[in-house]
Structures are given as structure tokens and as C-alpha cells.
Amino acid sequence: MKTFQLSENLLNRISDLIEEKKDTQLIKLVKDIHFADMAEIINELNQDQGTYLIKLFDSQKTSDILTELDEDVREKILKELSVKEIADEIEELDSDDAADILGELSDERKREVISEISDNNLVDDLKELLSYDEDSAGGLMAKELVKANENWSVTKCLKEIKKQGENVTRVHSIYVIDDKEKLIGRLSLKDLIASPNKKLIKDIYIPQVDSVDVNEDGEEVAKIMSKYDLEAIPVVNKRKQLVGRITIDDIVDLIKYEAEEDYLLAAGVQGDVEADDSIYELTKARLPWLFLGLIGGLGSVFILEGFEEVMSHPSYKTLFFFTPLIAAMAGNVGVQSSAIIVQGLANDIVKGSLINRLLKELGLSLINGIILGVFTIIFGLIIDLPLNLSITISLSMLCVIVVAALIGTSIPIILDKRGIDPAIATGPFITTSNDIFGIFLFFYIAKIILGF
Amino acid sequence: MKTFQLSENLLNRISDLIEEKKDTQLIKLVKDIHFADMAEIINELNQDQGTYLIKLFDSQKTSDILTELDEDVREKILKELSVKEIADEIEELDSDDAADILGELSDERKREVISEISDNNLVDDLKELLSYDEDSAGGLMAKELVKANENWSVTKCLKEIKKQGENVTRVHSIYVIDDKEKLIGRLSLKDLIASPNKKLIKDIYIPQVDSVDVNEDGEEVAKIMSKYDLEAIPVVNKRKQLVGRITIDDIVDLIKYEAEEDYLLAAGVQGDVEADDSIYELTKARLPWLFLGLIGGLGSVFILEGFEEVMSHPSYKTLFFFTPLIAAMAGNVGVQSSAIIVQGLANDIVKGSLINRLLKELGLSLINGIILGVFTIIFGLIIDLPLNLSITISLSMLCVIVVAALIGTSIPIILDKRGIDPAIATGPFITTSNDIFGIFLFFYIAKIILGF
């Protein structure tokens, strides 16, 4: 098996067949394509073509494709579908996917679609799921699960889980509840099959079970499931009643999504954008950080102006040639330090006091700074720079590197302690502040040493 | 359930009990701690304390803790264990985890440990697993799986899978093979239980099954499993024989690991390091990229020297104050562009020709550049900069932004087309080259406009 590679060729053939309305040929061409790949194709088609194509499939495949589409493409296609059609798709889906799609509709449309759904249990489930925060355990969970009451007999339990199992794609665990719906344990299918028919569940279940609260943050759930290698985890409400279950495939999507967001944020791109988004969306994601960089850059104009007199000094003016180098070093060192700390905080491995952390970073940056400084002095000798100037530049750069490393280390830790996502600290924020600070420090120290 | 938070307090109590050799109290204190959390504790202890503590547990828990330890801590603890002790731990583990640990030992120690293992099947499995590349499907897979021969009867099959199932933590699927061990399909437990005892497997199995080749790249396997929401996938060799199985929990670890690596790489930190690594390890990961930045910075010294005469011009010398701004803008824009492309390439959403991509980026960077340019002119008016100078600076900056965006976009695409991981393009590499290029372009265009 390989991941599907969408070719221009296939896309053109599909597009042509749609324009010519050759449905039989079209269906033959695409019928064996997986729904996740079908979604990729529809993402690339225009709105009319995409809507035309998605309507060719049966309800089950259409609904599966819908869940995999890009959000903006889905939004457009949903607009082309009738309330009845959307309701039909919703009924085919697992409750978590159904709630996600419903959640993207306008309040009015949402009500209309829900009123078209005939299954009252499903309506209740969807209303409940929609009531939770999107990024909480409740927003991630599905209502489909297999549960057994502790007072059931083995016979009754087997019959019941067979019935419940019909709605559940894959049974990860049978959860055991008491008469008040409280989650009290889990049951192994092996034990169930091996037990005498009349035995009660309360005599054979395993009373240990991990669960998460319905209001728990999704990222924390992801951390728990990946750390403890769980494939599914039950979700309980405040009264410890079993209300849903989260499976690992949803967590995989979440982990990937969060990682992408952090990666882009570190590069100064904010929000959930990708290469195929509109220029407007991309500008919105990029301009604010560029603007921050601009402000920082204009700030450094003032700092350099403050050292204008150096420009008229016959040999000290060389210092000006080193400003981009100093800015780059300050930025690079700061970003490195903060990225390592941000990553460590995300994995809970940054322990010990801030002071210890800073002492370590001090040692590290001194080593790096001295090595880079020696190299700079050698460079100075090669280009015939006066030795006192080379040494001054290297010493100032060393100070800049140390300070940049300390700033890069402490900002994320301080943000984290105040409950702010430290990921915003990496990237443009650190680079910009370190640029200004680095340039100032460089000239200031040089001024002290050279005495101009 | 919450993730475990390791407190200084707990760590100190454990450390004290170890020093006082109070085993009973120690065991009582830690016995309910999950092995993944136990590993976190041992990661923080010194080598002797960690070894002392890990030896207190039974073989099963010790081996589970071993798999979760940081690689460097595990290496140290394994050195303290005898060949026999390691062999005992290996025998407790799933074959994939066992092979991972074995793979970290020296060749001689590896042989010694293997010779201590009495189970010949396990020895064969381990030798086979060790023969695959660490980052391939073969390196990720485990040998534990449940398989059925197509010629078995239902009765025989039920008996066999019960036996096989003992070694398998969770049965995801029953894989069906022919007499030559070739994977030909899968079997649902439901169908198996519902079928008459004498029926043959070949009459009830499902002949569709996805699989990956044993030499497939691990990242590609991760992509397949997450895209198609698979919880497990069978692995076959060249002759399509079933050789193993990969489960989603290993893929979750891989996805997290890759994401972390990309994140750090974008920040100029190469390799698998974390905040708690030694100063030596961290320097090795950081210094090369800083060195690259230094080379770039020294390069820009030459470029600025080439425009030295501008310094003696009464008003044009102001251009020099803008060099950090220009370098920052070139770097920021380049990093944004390349990050978006790198992310898009990883998700296979960057389609269409390079030309179209560049045209889009051209539009995007023109919009951003014009907005930022207008702002810079306003800034110039406020600080009483001559208008022609403000306009020159803005126009040059606009060109720098456009070129930086185009470089940031095309480098990852070109690298990707040549089979090089485009992730190395983001970060220091783009920043450094854009710094130099941006500064040169800025002065060059200013020179043309102002005619100095």
C-alpha cells in the first residue's frame, strides 16, 4: 500500500467527465478510490464540480468524504446541499464526526438539519456533543461505545453488546457501569465468553479503568493517551457517569494538527492556514508577525542613529558592517534556546528551578560564544582588521550571545508559569526583541571597551 | 485521569529512601506509579539510584520502564545490568520493543544477550527484526500478531487464535494467509464466531487487506495509517508473505518524534536533543547552525563594506541604520514562505506547477510589501526623513520582500523534487541566505534609485 498520489492527469479526466456529464464513466473511474483520497480530489476541483461529484456517491461514502474535506471546501459544498441531504449524511456518520460537521453550520441551518433527523437518540447525542467546547474531551469524544451494567448476567450482556456493537466500528473495550450510569470498570471479551451464562457482570469485571473528564483539555487528553499508549479512553462527567469515548485516531489528527500549528507559529505564521488557502487568508496569517518585525526593525534604526558618531571614525565605523551579523546571532541563539525550552515544556521535561536552567544556558552560550568569537578574531586577522577592533567585536558578540540565550530561555518559562502558551515566544517575537537588544548591547559594549 | 506531575518533593523522598536502603517503604511509595511515570522519575535520578530503583521491580515492570526511559539513561542502566538480567527483560517485552533495546547494545553484548534467551522462536524473531533499517516498516513492526491459514476449519482456527492471542496485547485483526504464508485477507471475529464449526476459513474470510512492504519508510507508514485511520497494518516481504504488524501507538510516537525534530530543525537545532541533555550534546546540536549564521554574517560584512562610500554622504548614510530592518524582513518573510511550503509538502497538498506557486507568492508578497512599505514611508515622515529617501527605502524593501518570498518558496520545492528533506531549508539556512541577499539587494536598488 502506498499513499494515493493525485496526478494532474486524473484530475483533468475527472474534470472533463464532469463537464460532459458522463456519469457512468465517472463512477467507474472513481469507485475504487478511498474516501480520504476522494476528498483530496474534491479539494482540488471547483465548487460546482466538487458538488456534482460528491452527489454521485451513496450516502455512506458521501458522508465519509465530507468528514475528510478541507474546512473551506466542505463549507461551500454544504451550502449546495439541501437540509434533508445534510441530515442524511449526518445520520450515516459517527456522532463525533456528525457533531463536527453540524458545528460548522450557521445556527439556523443547524436547527433545520437537526429537525430533519428522525432518530431521537441521535438528536440528543448531537445536541449534547455540540454543547461541549470544541477543544475539550467532550468535543473530541463520540457517543458510540459498548457498555454493560454490572447487574446484567453474562447471557444478557452478550445479547446487549451484540446490539450495541452494530453502531460501533471497532470495540476497544466494554465499559462497566452501575445503575446510576457511573463508570466503575471494564470487561474483557475473553472473560465474558469464558464465564458461565448466569454469572453477573459485577463478579467478572475489572474494577480499574482510566477515564478523562468531559471538560478536560484536548491537548491533555492527547498527552495522556500517547504517554500511556491507550487506544481508547472513556469520558465521564462531573458525577463520574460514562458519557462517551475518545479513540486514538482522533488523537492522531489532533497531535498532527497541534504540531503543524506550533511549527508555523515558530515561523511567524499564525492560525490554521495551509499553502492552498487564499491570498487573503495567508496575508492575515503572516502580516501581523511581519509588522512586529517591522516595528522592531524601525526600533533598531533609532538605536543605530544613537551611535551615528561612530560612522565618522576612520576605523571604528567598521562596527556598522557587523550589525547584521550581530542581529542574526542574537536572533538565532534566542530562537534555539526558546525552541528547546518550548519543546521541553510540552513534554514536561523542563524541571528544576529557573536559576538552574539559566546557569546551564549560561555555560552553553559561553562555550558557543567563545568558539564563534575566536573564529571572528581569526576572520579579522585575515581581512586585516585592527586587533583591538576584532577583539572588541568578538567580546561584544559573546555578551550578545549570552544575553540572547538567557532571554530565549527565560521568556518561555515565564510565559508558561503565567499560563500563556510558550510557543508564541519562539520565532518572530524572540528574533525581533533580540535583534534590537543585541544591536544596542553590541554598540554599547564596544563603546565602553574602545572608549569612543 | 491526569498526566503524572513529578514533584521535587517526591523525587527527594525517593532519593532519600534509596540512600537509606529502605526497600519496603520505597516499594510501598512507588508501587502504584505507572511504568511510564516511573521512567520519568528514573530519568531524573543519578545512575546508581536509578539502577537501584529499577532492580526493585519485578521483571515485567522493569522491562516496561526500560522501554520508556530516555535513551542515554537506558544506556547507562543497561551497563549496570548483567547479560542474564537484560535477557530476562527482553523476554518480557513485545518483539518490537525488545529489538529496539537490543539494537542499542554493542554488537558483542547483543550476541551475549541473545545467547542467554532460551526461546528459539523469539531469538529468530529478534534477529529478523534487528536486520531491518530502524526507520523502515520492518524496524517499527512487531512479530506478535494473530493469523489464520485459509485451509483451517473454524474449530481449528478458534483454538489456534486462542493460543496465539496469549502473546498479543490486543487483537486488532486476524490476518489470513495461504500455505506459503502469503497474506491473502483478513477475518472478522464476528464472522468466525457466527460460522459453523466445520466451515473452512477460505470460505468466510474477507479478501481485501491493506499492507505495507517491510522496507517501506516509517514516515510513509505513518502517513498511510493516519490518513486512512488504521489502527494496525500488516507488514509483508517481497514475496507478499506476512512478516509482522505495526500498531497505531508506535505510529503516534513516530509522529510526535518527527514533529519535534522538524520544529527544532526550523529553529536551528539539529538532531534528537532535549532540554535535559548534556551541554556537550546541546552544543553539538546548536553550534553548526550558529556557525552557518556567522559565515553569513561575515559575508554581509563584505557587502556592507562595498557600500562604504554611502557612509560619508550626509543624508544617504541613514540607509545604514536600516540594514537590521531589511535583514529581519528578508529573514522573516523567507521563513514564513518556506514553512508554509514545507508543511504543505508534508501533507501532499502542494500541487500544481512551481510557476503557479511562485505567482501566488508574488501576489502575496507584493500585498504584504506594499502595506509594510506605506507604513515605513509614514514612519519616515514622522522622523523627518527626506521623502525621496523614505520612498527609496520602501521600494527597496518591497523588492527584498518579494525576492525573499520567492526564494523561501522555491528552495523547499526544489529540494523536495531532488529527494532532499525540505525541512532543512526552513530556519537558519533561509534566514542566513536571505540576510545576505536582502542587504545586497537593498543597497543595490537604493544605489540605482538615488544614483550614488
Q: What is the 3-state secondary structure (H, E, C) of B117-164?
A: CCCHHHHHHHHHHHCCCCCEHHHHCECCCEEEECCCEHHHHHHHHHHH
Q: What are phi and psi of B69, to 5 degrees?
A: -65, 155
Which of B105, B135, B165 finishes a domain?
B135
Interface contact A266, partner B, CB < 8 A? yes
For position B350, what pLDDT does the model report? Answer: 62
In this complex, which of A293, A347, A368 lies closest to B283 when CB atoms are compared? Answer: A368
- Please tell me the distance in Å from A286's CA to the nearest CA on chain B: 7
**CA B159 – CA A250 distance, rounded (Å):** 34
Residues in chain A: 452
**Contact criterion met (CB < 8 Å) for A304 and B298:** no
Q: Are residues A288 and A428 in the same domain?
A: yes
Q: Which residues share a beta bridge with A234?
A: A245
Percentage of chain A exceeding pLDDT 70 = 98
> Of chain B residues 100-159, which have a CB less than 8 A from chain A?
none
Q: What is the pTM of this model?
A: 0.84
For position B425, what pLDDT does the model report? Answer: 76
Q: Is residue B1 part of a domain?
A: no
Q: Which residues share a beta bridge with B183?
A: B177
Q: Are residues A16 and A62 in the same domain?
A: yes
Find the helix or strand (DSSP H, E) in which B175 lies. strand B174-177
Q: Which residues of A touch B268 (CB under 8 A)?
A: 332, 335-336, 339
- Please tell me the distance in Å from B369's CA to the nearest CA on chain A: 9
**Stretch A409-413: mean pLDDT:** 91
For position A161, what pLDDT does the model report? Answer: 81
Query: Rounded to a whole number, what is the largest CA-CA distance in chain A?
Result: 100
Q: Is residue B140 part of a domain?
A: no
Q: Is residue B192 part of a domain?
A: yes
pLDDT digit string (tens) for A98-144? 999 999 999 999 999 999 998 999 999 999 999 999 889 999 999 98
Looking at per-residue pLDDT, the higher value among B366 and A343 belongs to B366
**CA A449 – CA A451 distance, rounded (Å):** 6
Q: What SS3 state is found at B321?
A: helix
**Contact criterion met (CB < 8 Å) for A350 and B275:** yes
Q: Tell me if A32 sits within 8 A of A65, measured CB to CB.
A: no
For position A130, what pLDDT does the model report? Answer: 94
Q: Which three cell numbers stand for residue A21?
A: 456529464
pLDDT at residue A168 tops 90: no
Averaged pLDDT score across all residues of chain B: 89
Q: Are residues A337 and A428 in the same domain?
A: yes
Which of A69, A102, A134 finishes a domain?
A134
Q: Which three cell numbers stand for residue A107?
A: 445556527
Q: Are residues B78 and B190 in the same domain?
A: no
Question: Is beta strand B212-213 parallel, antiparallel or unpaired with respect to B183-187?
Answer: unpaired
**Stretch A12-24: mean pLDDT:** 91
Q: Tell me if A147 sits within 8 A of A187, measured CB to CB.
A: no
For position A105, what pLDDT does the model report? Answer: 93
Q: What SS3 state is found at A327?
A: helix
For position A171, what pLDDT does the model report? Answer: 66
For position B395, what pLDDT does the model report? Answer: 94
Averaged pLDDT score across all residues of chain A: 89
Domain that holds residue A105: 8-134
Query: Rounded to a whole number, what is the largest CA-CA distance in chain B?
Result: 100
**CA A435 – CA A439 distance, rounded (Å):** 6
pLDDT digit string (tens) for B367-414? 999 999 999 999 999 988 899 999 999 999 999 999 999 999 999 988
Q: Is residue B264 part of a domain?
A: no
For position A351, what pLDDT does the model report? Answer: 60
Q: Are residues B311 and B409 in the same domain?
A: yes
Looking at per-residue pLDDT, the higher value among B150 and B70 belongs to B150
Give the residue among B142, B160, B143 at the shortest CA–CA distance from B151. B160
**Contact criterion met (CB < 8 Å) for A279 and B1:** no
Q: Are residues A36 and A180 in the same domain?
A: no
Looking at residue B279, its amino acid is I
Q: What is the DSSP letter of B214?
A: T
For position B277, what pLDDT does the model report? Answer: 82
In this complex, which of A8, A43, A432 lies closest to B328 when CB atoms are compared? Answer: A432
Interface contact A20, partner B, CB < 8 A? no
**CA B278 – CA B274 distance, rounded (Å):** 9
Q: Which residues of A touch B5 (CB under 8 A)?
A: 348
For position B241, what pLDDT does the model report? Answer: 96
B416 Cβ contact list (under 8 Å, min separation 6): B345, B422
- Please tell me the distance in Å from A115's CA to the nearest CA on chain B: 31
- Please tell me the distance in Å from B199's CA to the nearest CA on chain A: 21
Interface contact A343, partner B, CB < 8 A? yes
For position A60, what pLDDT does the model report? Answer: 86
Q: Are residues A316 and A227 in the same domain?
A: no
For position A352, what pLDDT does the model report? Answer: 60
**CA B411 – CA B434 distance, rounded (Å):** 12
Q: Tell me if B189 sits within 8 A of A193, measured CB to CB.
A: no
Which of B98, B116, B135 finishes a domain?
B135
Q: Is the dihedral of CA B22, B25, B30, B31 positive or negative?
A: positive
- Please tell me the distance in Å from B94's CA to the nearest CA on chain A: 14
- Residue to test with chain B: of A159, A214, A286, most B Cβ within 10 A: A286
Closest-CA residue of B relative to A43 is B349
**Contact criterion met (CB < 8 Å) for B329 and A273:** no
Split at pLDDT 50, 70, 90, the class of B270 is confident
Q: Are residues B340 and B316 in the same domain?
A: yes
Q: Which residues of A touch B215 (CB under 8 A)?
A: none
Interface contact A428, partner B, CB < 8 A? yes
For position B129, what pLDDT does the model report? Answer: 95
Looking at per-residue pLDDT, the higher value among B441 and A59 belongs to B441
Q: Which residues of B touch A190 (CB under 8 A)?
A: 165
In this complex, which of B351, B363, B428 lies closest to A44 when CB atoms are compared? Answer: B351
Q: Are residues B438 and B335 in the same domain?
A: yes
Q: Which CATH number is A290's domain given?
A: 1.10.357.20
Q: Is residue B224 part of a domain?
A: yes
- Please tell me the distance in Å from B203's CA to the nearest CA on chain A: 23
Q: Tell me if A424 sits within 8 A of A292, measured CB to CB.
A: no
Interface contact B260, partner A, CB < 8 A? yes
pLDDT at residue A391 tops 90: yes
**CA B392 – CA B444 distance, rounded (Å):** 11
pLDDT at residue B169 tops 70: no
Q: Are residues A48 and A128 in the same domain?
A: yes
**Contact criterion met (CB < 8 Å) for B274 and A376:** no
Q: Which residues of A touch B347 (CB under 8 A)?
A: 260, 274
Q: Are residues B312 and B396 in the same domain?
A: yes
Q: Is residue B32 part of a domain?
A: yes
For position A430, what pLDDT does the model report? Answer: 87
Query: How many domains is chain B built from?
Result: 3
Interface contact B435, partner A, CB < 8 A? yes
Q: Is the dihedral of CA A238, A244, A248, A249 positive or negative?
A: negative
CB-defined contacts A:B, below 8 A: 322
Q: Tell me if A58 sits within 8 A of A85, measured CB to CB.
A: no
Q: Tell me if A406 sits within 8 A of A362, measured CB to CB.
A: yes
Find the helix or strand (DSSP H, E) in which A440 lies. helix A428-450
Q: Is residue B265 part of a domain?
A: no
In the numeric block, the cell 516499594 is attached to: B27
pLDDT digit string (tens) for B312-358? 888 888 899 999 999 999 999 999 999 999 888 887 766 667 788 88
Q: How many helices (H) and strands (E) does chain B have?
A: 22, 6
Q: Are residues B306 and B189 in the same domain?
A: no
In this complex, which of B267, B338, B363 lies closest to A335 when CB atoms are compared? Answer: B267
Q: What are phi and psi of B186, to 5 degrees?
A: -135, 170
Q: Which residues share a beta bridge with A142?
A: A245
Residues in chain B: 452
Give the residue among A431, A440, A389, A268 at the shortest CA–CA distance from B327. A431
Q: Which CATH number is A242's domain given?
A: 3.10.580.10
In the numeric block, the cell 535583534 is attached to: A435
pLDDT digit string (tens) for A181-225? 999 999 887 778 778 888 999 999 999 899 999 999 998 999 999
- Residue to test with chain A: of B228, B322, B353, most A Cβ within 10 A: B228
Q: Is the dihedral of CA B399, B400, B401, B404 positive or negative?
A: positive
Give the residue among B30, B21, B111, B104 at the shortest CA–CA distance from B70. B104
Q: Which residues of B touch A376 (CB under 8 A)?
A: 294, 298
Q: Is residue A188 part of a domain?
A: yes
**Stretch A154-167: mean pLDDT:** 81
Q: Which residues of A touch B404 (CB under 8 A)?
A: none
Q: Which residues share a beta bridge with B149?
A: B177
Q: Which CATH number is A60's domain given?
A: 1.25.60.10
Interface contact B288, partner A, CB < 8 A? no
pLDDT digit string (tens) for B240-250? 999 999 998 88
Q: Which residues share a beta bridge with B235?
A: B212, B244
